[in-house]
């Protein structure tokens, strides 16, 4: 299961310039809606906030993986965003989040949804990769790093 099967260069945000979880989710929802036909940012945001109400998707170590399911989707969508300054995300360790993978899946794609979540989690457990993502120059370099990691494992 490759993340880059669902992540495109247009869905990589090199610098997320927000300070709160709500602002981050709003901006990410707008980015997905701009790139994926048939989706509206309000619907995406509602799904993400519904999931966050169950507990923060800030998993610690500067990482968050907001996710949800949408009936309007035909295929999985992944977005990656970086915040150099960090976003207050109510993460389990109380620290700001710098790396965000957003995952949206169709209602009937539970297996795929879980496999991609697991793949993202495994990828981000590598501190060397996280350091490279934090140091990358731009969206193209970020996408290339994720693609390299995808192809090497």
Q: Which residues are catalytic?
A: 67
What is the full DSSP assignment across 41-75?
HHHHHHHHHHHHHHS--EEETTEE--EEEETT-SS
Q: Which two tokens stand for residue 50?
A: 């519904």
Q: What is the 3-state secondary structure (H, E, C) of 115-142?
A: HHHHHHHHHHCCHHHHHHHHHCCCHHHH
Instruction: Assess contact for 70 and 107: CB atoms under 8 A.
Output: yes
What is the chain's Cα-based Rg? 14
**How far apart are the C-alpha atoms of 1 and 13, rounded to whole Å?**
22
């Amino acid at each position: 299961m490759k993340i880059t099967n669902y992540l495109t260069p247009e869905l990589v945000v090199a610098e997320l310039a927000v300070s709160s979880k709500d602002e981050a989710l709003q901006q990410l929802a707008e980015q997905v809606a701009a790139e994926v036909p048939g989706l509206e940012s309000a619907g995406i945001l509602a799904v993400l906030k519904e999931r966050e109400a169950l507990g923060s998707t800030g998993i610690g170590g500067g990482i968050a993986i907001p996710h949800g399911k949408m009936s309007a989707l035909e295929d999985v969508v992944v977005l990656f965003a970086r915040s150099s300054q960090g976003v207050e995300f109510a993460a389990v360790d109380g620290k700001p989040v710098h790396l965000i993978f957003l995952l949206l899946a169709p209602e009937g794609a539970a297996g795929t949804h879980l496999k991609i979540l697991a793949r993202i989690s495994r990828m981000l457990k590598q501190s060397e990769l996280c350091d490279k993502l934090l140091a990358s120059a731009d969206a193209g370099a970020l996408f290339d790093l994720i693609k390299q990691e995808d192809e090497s494992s």
